[in-house]
Structure 1
Amino acid sequence: MTVRITLVCHGSTEALRRAVFPTDDDGLDEGGHRDTARAAPSFASPGRPEGVVLCGPARRCRETAEGLGLAAAVVDDRLRDRDHGRWAGRSLAEIQAEDPAGPAAWLTDPAAAPHGGESVLALVERVAAWLASRREPSGRVIAVTHPDVIRAALVHVLDAATTAFSAIDVEPLATVRLTTAGGRWRLRFPRPT
């Protein structure tokens, strides 16, 4: 059976605009709500095949799913954002002023977790395990999640080095489709509708 997963990045947040590490309590900002409402018709299209709708547990993911008309989304903890540990809610500049070696290690070593949270390597492994577990009867999944989770999925699907993680930009409400028939994953960037 072919599995089709559409990964949707949550809408914009104030933390993103201010360039601070997010917390789970961060919701969508005004622009995030507006853009999500504008994108909703493409997710609520009549005739769209039924499938499983999931979202990460953070407020911004739940608000995005609701704003897209995916209110029946089931929270899946494996779609949670990368754990930024003690850096959550703080800017990179603030952290660099306190601990210049920490951000340097975080930016260059995928196994490093100087913030006491989750490393890129651990995140990629978590997301790879989540992808491997997807065997829905309908074969279709929509998952509202975070930029880092989508980056990790792309690194895994492309079998790229984890150092490629930081070279991938994922904008708010970006979507990517992944398909597999049990073998290799394929990557698809859908046209906006």
Structure 2
Amino acid sequence: MDTRLLLISHASTAAMRAARFPANDPLDARGLAEADAARARLSIPDDMAVFVSPAVCARDTASALGLAATVHEGLADMDYGRWHGLRLADLAVEAPQDLAAWTHDPDAAAHGGESFSQLVKRAGQWLDALDDTLSKGATRARDSVSSDGTNEAKNRALSAGTSSAPRNMQHVVAVTHAPVIRAAIVHALGASPDVFSRIEIAPLAIVELRRSRRGWTWWPASQ
């Protein structure tokens, strides 16, 4: 079955606006207001399966968008190691060579965390396992429907992509982080991780990927 995936970057955080590496920060009032304003614009259909990064800012964004999402570790933000919570301006003074390497070399992980190349591999594994993830979710939802017959269980079945989606297309939303979306694009295109610095993902941006028999492709986000 073909898959249509909408990747949504979480709303801005105070750390992002201060050019600071994230430290599992929640959305502040400004970020929540941005996500709330985007809710009508994004118009996410009700029959999509929805996943979210375990980070607080991503879960806050999904909630503000009115999405009941399943947390998935495969959508977690890049691991910044020792740099979590630090400002770019401070690192530019204290460790300029390490910062320059991390900025330009996809294999660099001077902070002791995850390199961008490793993130591409992780994001690719999540993308390529998506069919199995959806199948397991649909099975759980169908079991719930048969066991209790409630509308709530039926809604879970819809969110797992088992109902109103066309027979040849399953629809998925994932609320995650800009680096993860960059990595997903690189994987979908079969591109070199070297291009990562040329991909910009703004807060609350949408990237659409589709998978068919010819593999993953990058589409203009039409919602």
Alignment TM-score > 0.5, same fold: yes
Residues of 1 paired with 2:7 and 2:20: CA distance?
23
Give unmatched runs, 5+ long, in structure 2: 136-160, 162-169
Q: Which consecutive aligned stretches of 4+ in structure 1 deviate over 6 angstroms post-superposition?
A: none
Q: C-alpha displacement at 1:61, in angstroms?
A: 0.3
Match of 1:37 in 2: 36
Q: CA RMSD in A?
A: 1.5
- SS of residue paired to 1:185: strand
Kept in 2, the 8 Å contact 1:127–1:149? The answer is: yes
- SS of residue paired to 1:7: strand
1:15-94 → structure 2 map (5 Å cutoff): 15-24=15-24, 26-43=25-42, 48=45, 50-70=47-67, 72-94=68-90
| 1:158 equivalent among 164, 174, 189 | 189
Match of 1:115 in 2: 111
**TM-score of the superposition, structure 2-length normalised?**
0.80
- Per-residue displacement from partner, 1:61-117 (whole Å, max 9, x unpaired)? 0000000000x2011011000000111111122112222221122122211110000
Counterpart of 1:15, as a letter, is A
Q: Which has the higher helix share?
A: 2
Match of 1:125 in 2: 121
1:136-147 → structure 2 map (5 Å cutoff): 136-137=134-135, 138=161, 139-147=170-178
- SS of residue paired to 2:175: strand
Residues of 1 paired with 2:108 and 2:42: CA distance?
37
- Per-residue displacement from partner, 1:101-140 (whole Å, max 9, x unpaired)? 2112212221111000000000000001100001135322
- SS of residue paired to 1:116: coil
How much identity, in percent, do the aligned residues show? 42
**How many residues matched?**
188
**TM-score of the superposition, structure 1-length normalised?**
0.91
